[in-house]
Structures are given as C-alpha cells and as structure tokens.
Amino acid sequence: MVLRQEHKAGEKGFVDWAGATIPVQDPVTGAIWQAPLFVMVLGASSYTYAEATRDQQLTSWISAHIHAFEYFGGVPRLLVPDNPRTSVSRACRYDPDLNPTYQEMAMHYGVGVVPARPYRPRDKAKAEVGVQVVQRWIVAALRHRQFFSLEDLNRVIRELLDKLNHRPFKKRAGSRASLFESVERSALRALPTERYDLSQWSRTRVNIDYHIAFEANLHSVPYTLVHELVEVRATPATVEIFHKGQRVASHLRGRGRGQVFTQREHRPKSHQAHLEWTPSRMVNWAQHIGPHTARLFERILEEKPHPEMGYRSCLGIIRLAEQSTNAATKDAQLHVRLPHRGGCLLPKMSPFVTRS
C-alpha cells in the first residue's frame, strides 16, 4: 500500500534535476555542450519553475534555488531534494548530513531541508511528475531549436514555462498558475531583504608556512594553527577561514592564480623581525658603526644577483656587532669605581668569594 500525500499550501517545494539536457553551441569554437535542467515544484499548486544551468555543480544548484524563490515571490517552509552531493554530504535514511553551503542558503531563507530517502522516489513524487511535465512541454518543444548561449536558452524556457503554468488541468478546473495565485502565493514566506551571498565550504590543512591553499592561491592564518584542520568559506568577494567554529582569518578573494595573501600579524615575531630588514635599513644601520661598514654592506648587497641573497651576511655582521657591544657592556659592569683607592677601577668581587 502507498500513503497518499496531501500537501498544504506553502509547505513544501520539491527539487530535482531533469534527466534530459538541452544542447548549447559555443558561438566561437562551435563546440556543443549539454545544459542540465533544474526543476522545482510547489506541493499544493504544482506551480513549476525550470532553468537551464551550466552544470550540476554547487554554484549552479544554489543559484537555481535563488532564482526559483524569486520566480515564486516567496519561500516554502520545506525543501525536498534528492541526494546529490550538492545537497547532501552523506546520505542516510534517518539523519543525512547536508552540504554546508546548501544548509547555509536554507538558513538564510528560513527554509528547512528534508532530503528524500535514498531509492524512495515517492518521497518526491511531485518533483518526479514535474520533471516529466517539463521534459514533455519544454525539452521536447526545443528539440529542433539551436541555442548559442545559456541566456538565450533560459529566455525561451521562461516563455514556455509561463505557458505550462497557465495550461488548464485535465481533471480539474483551473491551472497551476490560477491555483498558485488563489491558494499558495499568500502562504509562502516572504523573501529576505537581501539575496543570499553564495558561499562555498571546504576543508583543508594548514601548511608549515602557515598558509592554506585555495583555488591555486595561498592565504595566511595565525602561525599557531600549523598542521591544523580548518574550514574555508569562500564568497564571491572574500575567503574566510574557521577553526573549531571560530573565524581566524579573512582575505579578499583573488581572481588570478599563484597569488599570496599574507597578513603581518599571522607571522611569528621572528619572521616579522626578519622581514623588517630591508637593504636601505641595513645600510643605515651600518652608517652608525662607520662609513667603512656602510660601504661593506653596500658592496655585499650590490654583488649579489638579488639583494636578499646578501641578507644573511649583513645580518651576521649586525649580530657580531651586537655581541661585541654586549661584551663591552658586560666588561664595564665587572668593574666598580672605588674612591678610597685613588679612583682606579678594580675588578668587582663576587659576593661568594672571601678575601684572605
């Protein structure tokens, strides 16, 4: 036996990818690629939204949801998707793990997510029927049409979609559109004031140079997190890094490859001090010792193919000078002025040594 489902107005939206795709030809190369078709159907009215996407990856999945909510002018209380990786990280009959980005999107719109049970298509029967209707009335209608861009394809799909939703029911009065206007539109939750800012979540481990790799670029984190596992949240504008639920770093998102984004405070003190030594600062320091020392530094830095190759030699001289200064200071502290002995400097006696 099968339990007949009754759908309350504004309660559920059923989501799925259509099995059929639509070919799109690149106007420059002539290459043809297949555009998947996203479908969302509201439970009470069967009001349908469809959109062709670039692929079935997370960005396309989330963007299509946002466009569907805006097409409906509101949000249902629950979404019932299938179990693709874009919605469910770990499928489970009783307690599935949602994809973090999908969950974040749902929280932004105030909608719950109840994925269909694996291998239970009746859990999303509305989506299954909606997919069949879309394939029959949209995909089939476009089988002899040629498209050169996704925008043109979706423009035609929107026209056919309006016709589909206004098409009269066969076994009852009205249409999807009329039922939506009379029953479901007012029951949907209002859209938030701002559109969801699409973000992607991933996990990675901090490298020994206290940077993480993301999209072929490097982003710094506090050096104390070396070898730690962190979560990365990427939006179109920023890259945020979290450790145990706490945000530890935030960077502007780079659009190139091989870029390095480093914040000074993420470096250990020794690294900060090393980077503060520039060629000009080294020469200026040497001038306090004398003109010959300054000239020596200039020659060391000039003779190397790159000035940084001479840093160690110069820093070695600086350390030698500091050691000499410290030695002279300590030597001065080993003597005391004794007026009753003619003002001469005598070695300072250790308090643990007794005079004979």
* Residues in Cβ contact with 67 at an 8 Å cutoff, skipping those fewer than 6 apart: 49, 51
User: Is residue 110 scored above 50 in pLDDT?
Assistant: yes
Residue-level pLDDT at 299: 83
Fold exhibited by the domain 12-187 = Nucleotidyltransferase; domain 5 (3.30.420)
> Rounded to the nearest 5°, which phi and psi values hold at 211?
-130, 150
Residue-level pLDDT at 269: 82
The H-assigned helical ranges of 38-99 are 58-72
User: Is residue 13 scored above 70 in pLDDT?
Assistant: yes
pLDDT digits (tens, 9 = 90+) for 152-206: 999 999 999 999 999 998 878 889 999 999 999 999 999 999 888 877 788 899 9
Residue-level pLDDT at 171: 78
Residue-level pLDDT at 305: 67
Question: Whole-number mean pLDDT of the chain?
Answer: 80
pLDDT digits (tens, 9 = 90+) for 252-268: 888 788 888 989 899 88
Q: pLDDT band at residue 250, thresholds of 50, 70 and 90?
A: very high
Residue-level pLDDT at 36: 92
Residue-level pLDDT at 344: 41
> Rounded to the nearest 5°, which phi and psi values hold at 33?
-125, 155
Stretch 337-356: mean pLDDT = 40
Residue-level pLDDT at 254: 83
Residue-level pLDDT at 314: 77
pLDDT digits (tens, 9 = 90+) for 272-304: 766 666 777 778 878 888 888 888 878 887 776
CB 79 within 8 A of CB 111: yes
* Residues in Cβ contact with 146 at an 8 Å cutoff, skipping those fewer than 6 apart: 25
Neighbours of 84 (CB within 10 A): 18
Residue-level pLDDT at 69: 95
Q: pLDDT band at residue 86, thresholds of 50, 70 and 90?
A: low
Helix (H) or strand (E) segment spanning residue 197: none
How far apart are the C-alpha atoms of 46 and 178, rounded to whole Å? 11
Residue 337 CA, chain-centre distance (Å), reads 68
